Structure 1
Amino acid sequence: MSSHTKVIIAGCGIAGPVLAVYLKNLGYAPIVYERLDGLTTSGVSLCLQPNGLHVLSKLTGLVESLEGGPVARLLYHSALPEDEGLLSETDLPTKLKKTYGFGMLGVERATFHRQLVEYAEKQGVQIVWGHQVVGVEQDDDSVTVKFHNGKTDTGSFLAGCDGLHSNTRISLFGKEEATFTGLVQVGGLSPTPTTGNFDHHALINVYGNGKHFITYPVNETQNSWAATLQEPEAKESWKHIEHDAQEKFKNNSDFSSWGAGVGELVHHAERVTKYGLYDRPELQQWHMGRVVLLGDAAHPTSPHIGQGANQAFEDIALLTSLLQKHNPDAKSPPTDILTTIFTEYERTRIPRTAALVEEARKQGELRVVSGVAACKERNDSYREIHRQEETIMKRYAGLALS
């Protein structure tokens, strides 16, 4: 039975719609506000992993409806002329599915986002576009959100799911400086190669001198890919680059001549996105009063282990389970109950996400080393990747799968 307790969610990206449905299923009345005017084609892809898929599977019919490309194998190649060829391969995604019930699924971000939004709306979630959070005020019983267009709304509590550039986070903790990591990614979508022995069901890593390339399927006919390289600072916009720059990258970059399907993917890219990779300060607290942060707003991470969205889903699973535990009637909770919930949420989630953020940073540094000697040493580490399978498996054994 619904309590009609309004919960305001800032951000209708990947986490916001999922959180809204979870809350609605508990009896709350969520409303999602998004700064953009509607769906966009920004971004490239996501690799949904067992922990994230487990959370999504609790929403009836969602996982089964997703358009994506199942991943069965991981392949590691070297494009270094002095040490070229296949480094190793593993069927880890298949083992993950046998162990946890879920494997790995590549999804094109815009398609996945649209499916989440449509699913939430079908469940009766209200989504309001074109409303950017610019301020937050709260008292003992409620929180009021101010938007750039002068409008306001008041709810029981506020969940900030507004991503890397979270205004909810700024409202709580002030503006922080993002530090450029020295790495830039160029990503795209391409027709899946049909020539040679290209593996249509593999996530493929290819390593060069100061460069890294990753690709995986996102549906039956397309692969997503991302090239990481050391370049001067680029904006964190995740938007498509202009036509001339796209053509230059597709035809004249080092990647266009690489093997293992890389050159074909780059050359035939349907659109190309470029963005800088940045670090942000680690927060020791994710809430203040009746406001709490989730996903990238709380723990932004580089994409090198593909856990960003999956960790946001773990956030949702824990936060909503704590709401159910401490506020089972879904009435507007007093601030002391919210403090108990938010503190327990932080106590569990901050150590796990901090460890994964650090792991992602180290993976980025390892993948994009420069110099032949350093690259050969890196290649040797990936030749022994099978020895790390147990450690990698534990990455997925988070809260959502326990």
Structure 2
Amino acid sequence: MGLDIIIAAPRNTCTGGGIAGSTLALGLAQAGHTPTIYEREEVRISEGLLAMPDFGAVGGGAILFRPISRQNSSCYSPGTLAPPTGVMITANGLQVFKNFGVWDAIQREGQRANRNVYMNRIDGTPITSFKVADDDEHVCIMRSTLHKIINAAAGELGVRFVCGKRLQSFTQTARSETEKASVKVQFADGTSATGDLLIAADGIRSKTRELLFPGANDKPIYTGTRGFLGLTRLEDGDPWLTKSAISFYMNTSNRTSVNMMSVGNNLISWNVADHQEEPAEVDSWVPYADFPREAERLAALLESWNAPKDISKIIGNAHRISPVTIYDRKSIESWTVGRVTLIGDAAHGMPPHLGQGTSMALEDVGVLVELLRRFPAEPDRCLRMYEAIRIPRTTKIAEQTRQMGASQYTKSNMQRFVGELGLKFLGWVVNTFDVRVYEYDYILEVEKQLKIESNTAASPTKWNKDEI
């Protein structure tokens, strides 16, 4: 018999729980459980219709109206509200999509990064490149498109998405002779939900994490970087489309950068990052209404940085632009209390310097789903093993990410020289020895942990003669 599982979605989104939450729901449903995603975003209902934003192919902003049942007005098949940008999924994250049956649709809609990844100075001077092997593939895809694919697959399995539910508190009930263990979630609108587990995929500003560990003074940490995400559609035959799936342009002295990513269908997703003071109000990735003016301003900014003219032109022709502020969150030793646990950015938020935030969240999903598939009647054991497998790895990757970020920002020409030399050496190692940078098999990791537990249980007890 499957478990009833509550998934808390990110704040201020209407994407069906974010990539981690939606993928988790899909995998849990495939494993025989009953997941329900509760997300914060409100929707407007009128005349029996559900109104919700849809960014479409180029991050638009159209309003879609879908018929709904008055008796089921809080549940819907989620739309595609997502930042107007792309996301890179590396091989370790793609394994989850392959095992969950959505890989074909993802590679059909996205752009496989089967060309080199280039790293350059801000003026276009090459630093190094990394060859992407055929069996170590990366895929770049629009977030909105990825959400459509995952949510459609989850919806076909009956996963419910309940909107307008801002998590306020939760209580846990221990197992007794008459009742099973459970978690009851209270929402800000006065409603509640009860399940066997609460899995929080509610992002870098996780409310669940604050409730799990009160008084820990554990707040998101501003990285000093505030940027702009955008999207540009290129004409057929544009030379940029044949350059590379992914390119980075960096000025390590003043902490500015431009990242370009081909996401398929002639679309280029880009990110302009600058070192700024922390904004008074946290932006929510909402696109600018007057994006042509913002595109013109950013294009002029890049020209002042001496960026390549073709890059400035692409940004000047943007279809959508959103502001984004980059936060980190310190690694913690535990993600679980009772039947409540964290996943993705809620558990291990990290800066984007290694491009592993999404793939780490997908690894979390793979491990947790695999454990709950194998041991559906032992959720406590599953959560214990989930932590044992995932916390050491995510802590290590997060620290590597922070070190990478620190190495990219220098104060002298000598530091820049040493940093670029290190990147060149890394590129040589990866390309010469065909290194699989992001190799990770979550099923194998589960098997390893099971073997560890089995060996521990089989070990004879060591007695201390002084205690006898």
Unaligned runs of 5+ in 1: 328-332
Query: Is this contact kept in 1: 2:295–2:317, CA < 8 A?
Result: no
Query: Is this contact kept in 2: 1:76–1:88, CA < 8 A?
Result: yes
Cα distance in structure 2, aligned partners of 1:236 and 1:343: 35
Q: 1:51 to 1:163 in 2, by over 3 A?
A: same
Cα distance in structure 2, aligned partners of 1:223 and 1:246: 14
Instruction: Find the counterpart in structure 2 of residue 15 from structure 1.
Output: 20
Aligned ranges for residues 253-402 of structure 1 at < 5 Å? Answer: 253-254=302-303, 257-259=306-308, 261-327=310-376, 333=377, 337-389=378-430, 393-399=436-442
Instruction: Find the counterpart in structure 2 of residue 48 from structure 1.
Output: 89
Q: 1:65 to 1:401 in 2, by over 3 A?
A: farther
Cα distance in structure 2, aligned partners of 1:261 and 1:371: 28
Cα distance in structure 2, aligned partners of 1:361 and 1:241: 30
Count of residues in correspondence between the two structures: 382
Query: Is this contact kept in 2: 1:78–1:85, CA < 8 A?
Result: yes
Instruction: Find the counterpart in structure 2 of residue 228 from structure 1.
Output: 273
Q: 1:365 to 1:270 in 2, by over 3 A?
A: farther
Cα distance in structure 2, aligned partners of 1:232 and 1:352: 31
Query: Is this contact kept in 2: 1:71–1:216, CA < 8 A?
Result: no
Instruction: Find the counterpart in structure 2 of residue 203 from structure 1.
Output: 246
Tell me whether 1:238 sits opposite 2:247 in the alignment. no
Instruction: Find the counterpart in structure 1 of residue 35 from structure 2.
Output: 30
Larger RCO of the pair (alpha carbons < 8 Å, separation 6+): 1
Instruction: Find the counterpart in structure 2 of residue 330 from structure 1.
Output: none
Aligned ranges for residues 122-271 of structure 1 at < 5 Å? Answer: 122-140=156-174, 141-174=181-214, 176-192=218-234, 194-196=237-239, 199-208=242-251, 209-210=253-254, 211-234=256-279, 235=282, 237-241=284-288, 243=290, 244-254=293-303, 257-259=306-308, 261-271=310-320
Q: Which amino acid aligns with 2:353?
A: H
Tell me whether 1:69 sits opposite 2:111 in the alignment. yes
Please list the CA deviations of residues 131-157 of structure 1 after superposition, one character each: whole Å capped at 9, or x if unmatched.
111111110111111111111011111
Which moved further from structure 2: 338-347 or 252-261? 252-261
Higher radius of gyration, 1 or 2: 2
Which moved further from structure 2: 237-246 or 149-158? 237-246
Q: 1:185 to 1:33 in 2, by over 3 A?
A: same
Please list the CA deviations of residues 177-236 of structure 1 after superposition, one character each: whole Å capped at 9, or x if unmatched.
222121222221112475556634431111224222211111130111112221121335
Q: 1:273 to 1:257 in 2, by over 3 A?
A: farther
Please list the CA deviations of residues 61-117 of structure 1 after superposition, one character each: whole Å capped at 9, or x if unmatched.
x1111221111211122235xxx62222332x2x1x33x5xx111011122122222
Note the C-alpha offset of 1:314. Answer: 0.8
Note the C-alpha offset of 1:364. Answer: 2.0
Q: Which amino acid aligns with 1:125?
A: V
Note the C-alpha offset of 1:363. Answer: 2.0
Q: 1:358 to 1:400 in 2, by over 3 A?
A: farther
Q: 1:115 to 1:197 in 2, by over 3 A?
A: closer
Which moved further from structure 2: 234-243 or 214-223? 234-243
Note the C-alpha offset of 1:338. Answer: 2.9
Q: Residue 51 of structure 1: SS of its match in structure 2?
A: helix
Q: Residue 298 of structure 1: SS of its match in structure 2?
A: helix
Q: 1:226 to 1:153 in 2, by over 3 A?
A: same
Q: 1:281 to 1:90 in 2, by over 3 A?
A: closer
Note the C-alpha offset of 1:376. Answer: 3.4
Unaligned runs of 5+ in 2: 10-16, 43-51, 53-78, 175-180, 446-468
Please list the CA deviations of residues 354-373 of structure 1 after superposition, one character each: whole Å capped at 9, or x if unmatched.
11111222222223434444
Cα distance in structure 1, aligned partners of 2:403 and 2:361: 20
Q: 1:275 to 1:124 in 2, by over 3 A?
A: same
Q: 1:181 to 1:325 in 2, by over 3 A?
A: same
Cα distance in structure 1, aligned partners of 2:103 and 2:258: 28
Q: 1:198 to 1:16 in 2, by over 3 A?
A: closer
Q: 1:42 to 1:255 in 2, by over 3 A?
A: farther
Cα distance in structure 1, aligned partners of 2:85 and 2:444: 27
Q: TM-score, normalised by structure 1?
A: 0.87
Query: Is this contact kept in 2: 1:230–1:368, CA < 8 A?
Result: no
Query: Is this contact kept in 2: 1:45–1:109, CA < 8 A?
Result: yes
Q: Which amino acid aligns with 1:338?
A: P
Cα distance in structure 2, aligned partners of 1:361 and 1:255: 28
Cα distance in structure 1, aligned partners of 2:221 and 2:127: 33
Query: Is this contact kept in 2: 1:366–1:378, CA < 8 A?
Result: yes
Note the C-alpha offset of 1:165. Answer: 1.7
Note the C-alpha offset of 1:391. Answer: 10
Q: Residue 99 of structure 2: SS of its match in structure 1?
A: coil
Cα distance in structure 2, aligned partners of 1:198 and 1:219: 9
Query: Is this contact kept in 2: 1:318–1:400, CA < 8 A?
Result: yes
Q: 1:394 to 1:204 in 2, by over 3 A?
A: closer
Q: Residue 436 of structure 2: SS of its match in structure 1?
A: helix
Q: 1:50 to 1:383 in 2, by over 3 A?
A: same
Cα distance in structure 1, aligned partners of 2:316 and 2:339: 50
Tell me whether 1:121 sits opposite 2:155 in the alignment. yes
Query: Is this contact kept in 2: 1:145–1:153, CA < 8 A?
Result: yes
Query: Is this contact kept in 1: 2:84–2:321, CA < 8 A?
Result: no
Cα distance in structure 2, aligned partners of 1:155 and 1:259: 54
Q: 1:370 to 1:242 in 2, by over 3 A?
A: farther
Note the C-alpha offset of 1:375. Answer: 3.0
